[in-house]
Amino acid sequence: MEKEENQNSNIKNDQEVEKETTQPEENLESESKQDTDHEAKEEVKEITPEEKIAELEDKVARTFAEMENQRRRFEKEKEEAFEYGGYSFAKEALNLIDNLERSKQILETDDKLKGTEALNKSLEHLDIIKKDTISIFEKNSIKPIESLNKKLDPNFHQAMMEIEDDTKEPGTIIQEIQKGFTIKDRLLRPSLVGVSKKTLKKEEKTEENKENEEDK
């Protein structure tokens, strides 16, 4: 009997020890669970109405700013298309003036026509056509570039040759090979010109010729 009682008491003691050891573990698990639940609640914190309004106002402001930028770009493109829509056509139309000028030069150099009334009438008609064409161009903001006796401007002129002339300041345009034109504030094509330079002395010329021969 005593042995049985001792065995029962030992079993009770073991059970109590097991309870004591398992209870702290259960407490730790419940505490950790509570902590994670608390953190999750903090993460899923609802946005206040004021914050929602501020966010919406920011989105609306950004949208309006983008729309305004697009509107300005569209207005600029529309304005440029209206002002310079005929740019390519105008550039091609300059060939009319070039052809008139070439025709005039051919007639003037024809020995058979020199001094004839037919030549004079033809040249007169060509001049009238050229003036009318330039007048139409000017009405559409296409204007010729003034070149003769002007200083060379790389924005409007292209120097094709240098011509010795002591009566003009070096870099002065003294010959116009092809007339240039602008449309509003844009260059259609530059004027092809010849510019003046100082006359070289004989010694300078011989030295220049030597240098050219050496380069060859």
Give residue 215's pLDDT: 61
Task: Give percent of the chain above pLDDT 90.
Answer: 23
The yes-or-no verdict on residue 22 having pLDDT over 50 is: no
pLDDT given for residue 17 in this prediction: 44
CA distance 61 to 68: 11
What's the average model confidence in pLDDT over 23-30?
Answer: 50
Tell me, what's the pLDDT at 32? 54
The answer, yes or no, to whether residue 28 has pLDDT greater than 90, is no
211 pLDDT more than 50: yes
Burial class, 193, CB count within 10 angstroms (exposed 0-12 / middle 13-18 / buried 19+): buried
* Full set of structural domains in the chain with CATH: 143-216 (2.30.22.10)
Contact 183, 190 (CB under 8 A): no
Distances (CA, A) of 174 to 168, 169, 187: 8, 10, 21
- Split at pLDDT 50, 70, 90, the class of 190 is very high
Residues 143 and 97: their CA atoms lie apart, in Å, by 12
